Amino acid sequence: MSSNFPPLLRIHDITVKPFPLSDTLSTLSRLTVARKGRTFLASLSQRDYFGRFSIYAADPVLTARYRDGNLLLTAADGAATVEKIGFADALHRLLAPMPGSERSATPFGGVAVGYLAYDACRYLENVTLPAARILPTPDLVFQFTDTFIIKDHFDQETYLLLLDTDRSVRSVAEREEAIAAEIAALPPVDLFHPFPDGPVTARAHVLKDQYLAAIRKILGYIRAGDVYQVNYAYPISIESDIDTASLFMQYVQKNPVDFAAYGNYDDIEFLSLSPECFFTLYENVVKSYPIKGTIGRSADPEQDIRLRKQLQSSEKDLAELSMIVDLIRNDIGKVALPGSVKVKQHASLETFHTLYHLYSVVQGTVDPDDRAGLLTALFPGGSITGTPKVRAMEIISELEPYRRGLYTGSIGWAGYGRDMAFNIAIRTIQKTGNLLYYCAGGGIVADSDPELEYEETLVKTRAFFNIFPEVKLVS
Please identify every residue annotated as catalytic: 276, 292
- Cis previous bond, 18, omega within 30: no
d(C-alpha 420, C-alpha 413), whole Å = 6
Read off φ and ψ for residue 220, nearest 5 degrees: -65, -40
d(C-alpha 138, C-alpha 432), whole Å = 14
Read off φ and ψ for residue 206, nearest 5 degrees: -130, 125
Rg (the chain; Cα; Å): 21
Count of beta carbons in the 10 Å neighbourhood of residue 107 = 15
C-alpha neighbours within 13 Å on the C-beta side of residue 77 = 5
Whether the CA torsion 104, 110, 111, 112 is positive or negative: it is negative
User: Angle at Cα 285 formed by Cα 270 and Cα 272, nearest 5°?
Assistant: 10
Per-residue burial over 296-332, b if 16 or more Cβ lie within 10 Å, else e, is: ebeeeeeebeebbeebbebebbbbbbebbbebbbbbb
Read off φ and ψ for residue 235, nearest 5 degrees: -85, 150
d(C-alpha 11, C-alpha 410), whole Å = 27
- What pairing do the DSSP bridges indicate for beta strands 471-474 and 200-204? parallel
What does each C-alpha distance from 389 to 51, 110, 264, 303, 327 come to in angstroms? 27, 33, 31, 36, 8
- What pairing do the DSSP bridges indicate for beta strands 285-288 and 277-282? antiparallel
Q: Biggest alpha carbon distance in the chain?
A: 65
SS3 content of the chain, % helix, strand, coil (to 5): 30, 35, 35
